[in-house]
Structure 1
């Protein structure tokens, strides 16, 4: 059976199904596989619940409480919450898929829809995080220079561009995703006519567009913001403010990096294997089978961390949450 042009889709990432002559030499345990699948289902359920609660609270505070009209950052947060909310709503489908040992029970149309929504919102979430980092620096720098920042119209256009870019980046997914029968199981797959090389390009796009470029922009933006705040704090003798900003920046950058880096690192390894730049061996199989799924869970956890980082760390949102709890 030749499966070089197939890969089973697991959320925003891909789990390979490769046929190798020495596969039978690898010691696979059913108990280990069952434990991993149960663990993933539990994590998906927890991330889904936390993401629903966190992002719905964000939408409630910004949309219902009418706090979005004058703030560029809040408008980005609103879109980010919508993005992450759509993202976590796909997790129950992947949890069922995992519980059934990656046998897709929802049909071909739902495979295309769920996978496309998952991938699109992965890109959109990362793009909005990047736009927020740039906006945060620009707002602070402009305020310190006594410049007026034009908010409403430009922000809406930026959000429209982000959704368009995320849709374009996701375009190959609905086109090439399908449900195929592999070793008697129905799997939600990406099947490219060009085989593993096109799949490698698909992976490289995800790594570069979904991580390397955004991470670079986020890091540069926050380094510049930190420099502006540091210089301002030195002039105004406000070390407390500088400490707060430093802490906030560190948490934002580290959470983004730590949640996504392991997943993209293993994905890069798989790209090198597909291009015959690295050898397939037992270590690769074990990491891709047992470690890679956990990195997918970690990446998805970023969707419930976003509202915590961008909202609950802000004093205004903490005050509103306290008022809501006390009222209840």
Structure 2
């Protein structure tokens, strides 16, 4: 059975939640406001990406509790497949929306006139619905695998650490989505390989193609000021880096697991890299959306104004007190005269 170090897992989960939740709430508010005023395909896609990240963060406390319990599932068992399903589904859903944003950006600079004429918000809505349904159908394996009955005739008594030869129902409920039987691995490992190819490799290749060409085209344009060009190039490179570092190790574990026909011991640590995606996506939002930058700027301006008022208030009070004392002294002097 895989054992994620409690301190490591909790640190990653807490950092992700503390940084990611308020940033994604801010992005959610901004994109909702933007979509209501003037819906654009890029804003609809980023709104769905934000919803996916928020859903991931809402269920992250279940993973925190699991890590605190030394990776044993002591909560109601019905929450185990639900939290696992949402956890994995939102991870792969993010790859789709990041890829869709890259395609939208590339088409905007490669074919600006044609793309502007044919761009419709309804296309982004249809694509978003398809991404959600496709991710849900693929990750339904989280619910299916525990229902597979063990095939005793094909089980190996000297099985690997993540394969339980004679799993009892009580033993299976002590951990969440681990200790798979040989029959369950026969279904799970090929599906993981399919998830790696369809939900990671293909979107990543599309994302690389779009952003590499996006950077090439921007580098040749002369009428764009350097600040906007550098910000757009930084957004493209940052997205590719987040894509590779956050989703790469976890999906590589699928390939290694299929070759070795068992879950790698480091798979749980590779999953931690995917967790960081929820707090890195807001950086992409900030670089790719002027509305988010405007909201952040107005919030910082408001916080600075309130801070200045708070700092100047004691001085104002002391000045007011001094003036009142001076007026009292003048009044008493007048009475004496």
68, 90, 115: which is aligned to 1:99? Answer: 68
Residues 134 and 218, structure 1, Cα contact 8 Å, conserved in 2: yes
Residues 145 and 188, structure 2, Cα contact 8 Å, conserved in 1: no
2:136 matches 1:167:
yes
Residues 31 and 43, structure 2, Cα contact 8 Å, conserved in 1: yes
Residues 16 and 275, structure 2, Cα contact 8 Å, conserved in 1: yes
Change (3 A) 1:324 1:192: same
Q: State the shift of 1:247 in Å.
A: 2.4
2:300 matches 1:325:
yes
Residues 62 and 74, structure 1, Cα contact 8 Å, conserved in 2: yes
Partner of 1:224: 213
2:266 matches 1:274:
no
Change (3 A) 1:50 1:262: same
Residues 70 and 151, structure 1, Cα contact 8 Å, conserved in 2: no
Q: Which has the higher helix share?
A: 2
Distance (Å, rounded) in 2 between the aligned partners of 1:229 and 1:205: 35
Partner of 2:92: 123
Partner of 1:281: none
Q: State the shift of 1:113 in Å.
A: 1.2
What runs of 5+ residues in structure 2 fail to find an aligned partner? 148-167, 304-337
Q: State the shift of 1:144 in Å.
A: 5.0
Partner of 1:293: 268
The structure having more radius of gyration, on CA atoms, is 2
Partner of 1:253: 240
Q: Which has the higher strand share?
A: 1
Q: Number of aligned pairs?
A: 282
Partner of 1:133: 102
Change (3 A) 1:237 1:320: closer
1:7-22 pair list within 5 angstroms: 15=2
Q: State the shift of 1:147 in Å.
A: 4.5
Change (3 A) 1:86 1:189: same
Q: TM-score, normalised by structure 2?
A: 0.75
Distance (Å, rounded) in 1 between the aligned partners of 2:267 and 2:81: 22
Partner of 1:203: 192
What runs of 5+ residues in structure 1 fail to find an aligned partner? 1-7, 9-14, 16-32, 276-284
Q: State the shift of 1:303 in Å.
A: 1.3
CA RMSD of aligned residues (A): 2.8
Distance (Å, rounded) in 1 between the aligned partners of 2:90 and 2:116: 34
Q: State the shift of 1:313 in Å.
A: 5.8
Q: TM-score, normalised by structure 1?
A: 0.76
Change (3 A) 1:81 1:240: closer
